[in-house]
Structure 1
Amino acid sequence: MINALFAARPERWETYEAPLKAAFVANGLKVDLRQDFAPEDVDYIVYAPNSGVQDFRPYTRCKAVLNLWAGVEKITGNETLTQPLCRMVDPGLTQSMVEWVTGHVLRYHLEIDRSVALQDRWQPYVPPLAEERPVTILGLGALGQACAKALTQLGFPVSGWSRTAKDLPDVTCHHGSDGLKPALADAQIVVLLLPDTPQTENILNAQSLGFLPQGARLINPGRGPLIDDTALLAALDSGQIAHATLDVFRVEPLPHDHPYWAHPRVTVTPHIAAETRPLTASRVIAENIRRGEAGEDFVHVVDRERGY
């Protein structure tokens, strides 16, 4: 019998218990899934970084910590964690991110906000075709690649930037410190899908916002610290950035007195762009446990030095 500790907030247990157990059975695994094992009896930890488990030293038998979240920035610095850490790459989350990003890119492209605001006046607006609206995606991991594919299929010219070199069909790829400026140079819409690491913090700052053509729009469903908030507010006030749709923030929930709430050129959404889906995420967890028991390499193992 394999012992798996479910280490997440109590309300998540009701959501995940049945899908996880079904996924274990489907993978031919005999797993005892509980919330209250003795640490020395645990083989795997199904984990959320906001759980009560923060000291991993007692889990001497644990073969891997399997994160339920896509983000791992809240756990990678934990010095007690010596076991392999696997981040969540959930097909359900990926699809929901594609739908959210595509929807907001089209919202900007078709000037839907403007049409709604002027619905009592007859002021026709004919948008350009998608092929005339360059989009840049910062971050070309699983989420960025999926969004880039969807947008290219709609006809948008898509550029992407990543820390390391990537080669994607129909996407103009840039990388490294020298690649950021050309990636942003003609972007009318920018989508941020980078992880939160020391290297990506404030990647959009006063200088890089200036790389964009005047009137560009921003969409951030990635991580709050990717943007220098002070610089973005100044760029919005000057008109360098025409509008920003922000789903993630440095402090969440976003404080009621934050300038973003009242700014006429900002749309705030409450971290809803993509959520781990219990059914599909459970299959990812079960597959990694199957791999661990078979002596195979885990998938989606976090590189501690890179932070994701």
Structure 2
Amino acid sequence: MKITFCCTDTKSEPWLKGLAAALPGADISVWQAGAPQADYAVVWAPPQQFLDEQPDLKALFNIGAGVDALLKLRLPPTAAVVRLDDAGMAVQMAEYVCHAVIRHFREFDAYDESMHAGQWAYRKPRLRTDFAVGVTGLGVLGTRVARALAQFEFPVNGWSRSPKALGGVRCYSGAEGFNDFLAASRVLVNLLPLTPETQDILNQGTLSRLQSGGYVINVARGAHLVDDDLIALLASGHLAGATLDVFRTEPLPAGHPFWQHPKITVTPHTSARTLRDETIAQIAGKIAALQRGEAVAGIVNPDRGY
């Protein structure tokens, strides 16, 4: 069994060492142009040349949660694309989103301003019932986030493409349920996969349907959000603020209006980072299962984009 590693901007040595320990006997190497055909590939942002030179791959294992960039490439015809189910990302995402929601709800930015001004100032407590949180995308990450928010007794709404049922979460589904979901939510957390159908989904029309004083948390992909529409809704007062971890261009360019906007918190695509040991264990387990002829979770449907 031959495995090739082709991950842009990633140190290969720890990955190769970990994969070799998890899959003894496998031939594991870093891809170089002209390398022999492999059975499986572990990838992140591979060049098209790599995919063209590996036409008989059985499966591509993506080391990040999102596969949208990979699906834009011309893939080997028989290769399954396998995404990570979790690998330590879900708890990180739940931490990040809960922190962002609570920071906004408890008005900690305003307390920071008071502290820097040397003011001992209380703010009137707000009611959780007035801050329904809507989570778009109820996959592994979205489900963990929704359940974590429910532990803090926020009303939690969830929206997904197909119907789902989660305890403590009011679930909506399909195009017919999307507007009702938005109207029932004051805080919006975006965890959708990026597909042609979801690109630019956070726009003037959709964000205007959030309850007045709404708040946006985008931890999925920058191309979901129409930047100018967010800024306009913040200026109008319909939205109170946003926490953004992902952007159309990364790193976020110098001079972008998000950097200095007083109502926007920016973080550098760090809401849920790949944890190497957990990811290696998951990929190795799936490769071993495929070798035994068993089905594995996380196989991407290219038509859906996830």
Q: Same fold (TM over 0.5)?
A: yes
**One-letter amino acid of the counterpart of residue 180, structure 1:** F
Aligned to 2:76: 81
Alignment of 1:223-262 (within 5 A): 223-262=221-260
Decide whether aligned partners of structure 1 residues 117 and 10 sit closer, same or farther in structure 2, where only a CA change above 3 A counts: closer
Shift in Å, 1:81:
2.6
In the alignment, structure 1 residue 157 sits paired with structure 2 residue 161: no
**Which of residues 165, 168, 182 in structure 2 aligns to 1:167?**
165
Query: Which amino acid counterpart does residue 5 of structure 2 have in structure 1?
Result: F
* Alignment: residue pair count: 302
Q: Verify the 8 A CA contact 2:220 2:246 in the aligned structure 1.
A: yes
Match of 1:307 in 2: 305
What per-residue deviation string (whole Å, max 9, x for no partner) do you get for residues 123-181 of structure 1? Answer: 21243354552111111111100100111122111001112221111111111222121
Q: Secondary structure at the match of 2:157?
A: strand
Residue 268 of structure 2: aligned partner = 270
Q: 2:11 is matched with which residue?
A: 12
Q: CA deviation at 1:89?
A: 2.1
CA contact (8 A) 1:143 1:193 kept: yes
Amino acid across the alignment from 2:139:
G
Determine the C-alpha separation between the residues in 2 that align with 1:207 and 1:223. 19
3-state SS, counterpart of residue 118 of structure 1: helix
Q: Which amino acid aligns with 1:114?
A: A
Distance in 2 separating the partners of 1:262 and 1:138: 27
Cross-structure match for 1:178: 176
Contact 2:48 2:74 in 1 (8 A): no
Distance in structure 2 (CA, Å) of the matches to 1:14 and 1:297: 29
Amino acid of the structure 2 residue aligned with 1:299: A
> Shift of residue 101 of structure 1?
1.0
Shift of 1:224: 0.6
For 2:91, which of 89, 92, 95 is the aligned residue?
95
- Give me the whole-angstrom Cα distance separating, in 2, the residues matched to 1:232 and 1:206: 7
Q: 1:70 aligns with which of 51, 65, 68?
A: 65
**Normalising by the residue count of structure 2, what TM-score does the alignment of the two structures yield?**
0.93
Q: Which position in structure 1 is the counterpart of 2:204?
A: 206
Q: Which has the higher contact order (CA 8 A, sep 6+)?
A: 1
- Counterparts of 2:72 and 2:240 in 1: how far apart (Å)? 37
Identity of aligned residues (%): 36
Q: Aligned to 2:69, what secondary structure does the other structure show?
A: coil
**Cα offset for 1:40?**
4.1
Tell me the equivalent position of 1:32.
27
Match of 1:98, SS state, is: helix
Change (3 A) 1:85 1:233: same
Separation in 2 of the partners of 1:210 and 1:196? 21
Q: Deviations over 1:56-102 (max 9, x none)?
A: 24324421111111111112132343211111223311111111111
Work out the CA distance in 2 between the residues paired with 1:228 and 1:36: 37
The letter of the residue matching 2:155 is P
* Segment drifting more, 57-66 vs 33-42: 33-42
Q: Which amino acid aligns with 2:145?
A: C
Q: Distance in 2 between matches of 1:61 and 1:132?
A: 55
Name the residue aligned to 2:100.
Answer: 104
Distance, in Å, in 2 between the alignment partners of 1:36 and 1:193 is: 32
1:196 alignment counterpart: 194
Query: In structure 1, how many angstroms separate the alpha carbons of the residues matched to 2:213 and 2:9?
Result: 45
